[in-house]
Structure 1
């Protein structure tokens, strides 16, 4: 189950629990200040303006609903209807806004719109605009929906926003876009609960918590994952070395003639080769855990296995890489498919690569894993000197 679904389900269970009702009532007013305060601080610290602005929008909605309860006056009802209409659209807009766009004219335009919204709502509260304000709560279709507590116009806004954010998720497939979807659902649950009380506060703040979680998860992934290959990075390897058992083996894998390949075909093809190797390494058997070590070099950990036990799996890996091939994309190939494609006169060139592998194990229980890596590197150099495309231990 998605983390967003788990958090929302947990919030629902807490709200429905009679034994926790008093605790929820006491803690609900404090919950937003903790989550949104921490989230805004993290957004600033990690330079995530998109998420920081989204958190500010959610917090502003929460404070406005607390200041103008919808069941207290016509003013409260107008504020509620305006928030129910604008909040989903704002979140959808921010979900589609690229991080770097915040500092561009498009981002400044979005920020200007967000800052103008409170002024627009304040204008709607003027007596001469009462008819326009009532239009936010207008019933367009006479259908009995006893479960629906938000205006029909707001429901349309949520459907449109959910469609847009869902499309953004399917095109980007990032943790942030996924949690924007769940944040929208949390906002709907908050407003459909009436916009007041503990339920509204808990759901809105949980929506903010989802964005904070995505910020932390994304930052962790950037620190511990290699963007090009998708493998765990060298920092992740350093962390994994701290938790190795007494028996283990470390293999160092290096792509043969990689510099020559880069010079001949260009860095784009070099990146393609690195991705191919990374994908193949993820299929290492025997419990091998691959990491991007740097440049064209990779590391594979075998916890619980001696070097001799790891060699057959490394041989299988070497053979799988040797047998794989891919078509080189021509430097003059257009980035978009033309209406009438023209086949290159030179045909398509297929390229295959090989790797050399060195593997080592600790010589005693107190051996430093970094020393084992150096020993594996020496074995790798022997594999290079003796003809490449082989495993040495």
Structure 2
């Protein structure tokens, strides 16, 4: 099932910027000696640094993707160096180029969709075996039957589909299209930075191959950029794991701590807590508890007034309003509290979840049996003379939250005020 709601432009942005930078560098003219020397060592440098980074984080899929791209670069770079030095290509240039055009997208697609589900050593051996077998077969065919292999690869099998614009062997085009579709489907099913980077990397490789012998340093630049896309995606995902809560999708406590260091002079912090959350877990199980947390997180994540929601820990959430006052924020927090209190969450198995929001609304409207009510309590505090430190303001908001709990729950309390906003819903 596609998760279109999780698709983000930010997943593609780093790879897109690297692709654009690679295209600009490839078309640049009159490069200085510094840049030409850099481009000669850049692919090897990126492989060593990016490969070490992937190895440290035990990301073998990404490591073998980078190895695949580097091996293709090494094979073609040998040919382009000979071409630049002698003014003509080597005798085996055509067959090697066509093999790379065929095997590069094939191996890139295989490693791109090959998930890491085995033991670490078993996974490495399996991936290495695939690379070794494919490489050994290709080398054996190229050494023993070069003429027959070249004729088979260069043969135009579908004359009606062939165009003069095609600068690669015909077999490469359906292979690239098939791998592209496969990687796009993978991204739509699991939207994440790495899967987006694989799509953009394939586009870069497809553009690179026809320009290998035409534009100087195209091979070096684009192979380096594709490996950088993969390494950057690993870093992006590592950042998300450290700063974003996996269950709710909200930024986590570490992100909140960083945000609190640059809030400026005026801000408001609200702390919220799910009422009777332990009862949900004890009565209905932790799966229902997770559903409750996702519900509250989705509503808090849409809070108006410029608020930014964070998962503080457990069933607690924090909302930060930078440059705002309490009077401005309370109405928006009250709207979220009322929206959560007015939502009847219908209990259901995870396997029977609706495919879209409309189906879910129809199911909830058709039957109210098995529904539970969720409420939250909110405490609000604003920075002022007595509370200049963000940690102090957070503690004040937490104290106001306890006051809201003591006042009957499902309400909002402002630190320093005794007025209670909201009323506890009858259960």
Question: TM-score normalized by structure 2?
Answer: 0.83
Question: What is the alpha-carbon distance in structure 2 between the residues aligned to residue 281 and residue 186 of structure 1?
Answer: 39
Does the 8 Å CA contact 1:247/1:306 hold for their aligned counterparts?
A: yes
Question: What is the alpha-carbon distance in structure 1 between the residues aligned to residue 402 and residue 73 of structure 2?
Answer: 62
Change (3 A) 1:156 1:21: farther
SS class of match (1:136): helix
Hey, what does 2:6 align to over in structure 1? none
Match of 1:189 among 197, 204, 207: 207
Does the 8 Å CA contact 1:269/1:328 hold for their aligned counterparts?
A: yes
Structure 1 residue 381 displacement after superposition: 0.7
Hey, what does 1:378 align to over in structure 2? 399
Q: CA RMSD in A?
A: 2.7
Question: What is the alpha-carbon distance in structure 2 between the residues aligned to residue 305 and residue 347 of structure 1?
Answer: 39
Question: What is the alpha-carbon distance in structure 1 between the residues aligned to residue 31 and residue 20 of structure 2?
Answer: 15
Match of 1:100 among 117, 135, 140: 117
Question: What is the alpha-carbon distance in structure 2 between the residues aligned to residue 257 and residue 366 of structure 1?
Answer: 30
Does the 8 Å CA contact 2:245/2:311 hold for their aligned counterparts?
A: yes
SS class of match (2:171): helix
- Is 1:39 paired with 2:50? yes
Structure 1 residue 26 displacement after superposition: 3.5
Moved more, 247-256 or 36-45: 36-45
SS class of match (2:310): strand
Match of 1:123 among 107, 117, 140: 140
1:163-312 pair list within 5 angstroms: 163-194=181-212, 197-312=216-331
Question: What is the alpha-carbon distance in structure 2 between the residues aligned to residue 55 and residue 109 of structure 1?
Answer: 16
Change (3 A) 1:292 1:206: same
Structure 1 residue 100 displacement after superposition: 3.1
Question: TM-score normalized by structure 1?
Answer: 0.90
Structure 1 residue 365 displacement after superposition: 7.4
Match of 1:160 among 178, 182, 190: 178
Question: What is the alpha-carbon distance in structure 2 between the residues aligned to residue 111 and residue 276 of structure 1?
Answer: 44
Does the 8 Å CA contact 1:285/1:313 hold for their aligned counterparts?
A: yes
Does the 8 Å CA contact 2:268/2:326 hold for their aligned counterparts?
A: yes
Unaligned runs of 5+ in 1: 338-342
Change (3 A) 1:120 1:36: same
- Is 1:355 paired with 2:376? yes
Does the 8 Å CA contact 1:15/1:24 hold for their aligned counterparts?
A: no
